[in-house]
């Protein structure tokens, strides 16, 4: 029987798994381009080496806060602000609702 602290498998669609793997790879490449070791980034982000390894593999079970701490550690923290920035569908739906109200 697993203990209460064991991580649970996060189920994602294949497309979402691919997105997470791409994000992890992009983080890994950004770290390597800056010639930062995993040890240094993990220390700066206050996470374990194994958590950084999971992030770089795109593990969806890692808390988003850990992803943000790693991005901050490599100088890309503001990239989180780009998530859902240009919500084209949301804007279309909002505009349609405004038109309907008139």
- Kindly give, in sequence order, each residue whose CB lies less than 8 Å from that of residue 16, ignoring residues fewer than 6 positions away: 60
Q: State pTM to two decimals.
A: 0.80
Considering the domain boundaries, does residue 8 fall inside one? no
So what's the pLDDT on residue 96? 87
The per-residue pLDDT for range 50-99, each reduced to its tens digit, is: 999 999 999 999 999 999 999 999 999 999 999 888 888 988 998 888 77
Considering the domain boundaries, does residue 50 fall inside one? yes
Number of domains in the chain: 1
Considering the domain boundaries, does residue 40 fall inside one? yes
Q: CATH code at 77?
A: 1.10.260.40
Q: For all residues of the chain together, what is the average pLDDT?
A: 90
Considering the domain boundaries, does residue 4 fall inside one? no
| Distance of alpha carbon 80 from alpha carbon 61, whole angstroms | 18
So what's the pLDDT on residue 10? 81
- Its domain, for residue 75, covers 14-101
């Amino acid at each position: 029987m697993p203990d209460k602290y064991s991580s649970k498998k996060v189920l994602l669609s294949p497309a979402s798994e691919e997105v997470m793997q791409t994000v992890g790879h992009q983080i890994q490449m950004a770290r390597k381009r800056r010639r930062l070791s995993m040890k240094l980034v993990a220390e700066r982000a206050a996470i374990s080496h194994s958590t950084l390894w999971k992030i770089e593999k795109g593990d969806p079970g890692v808390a988003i806060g850990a992803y943000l701490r790693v991005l901050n550690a490599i100088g890309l923290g503001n990239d989180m602000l780009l998530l859902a920035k240009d919500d084209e569908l949301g804007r279309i739906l909002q505009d349609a609702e405004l038109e309907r109200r008139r």
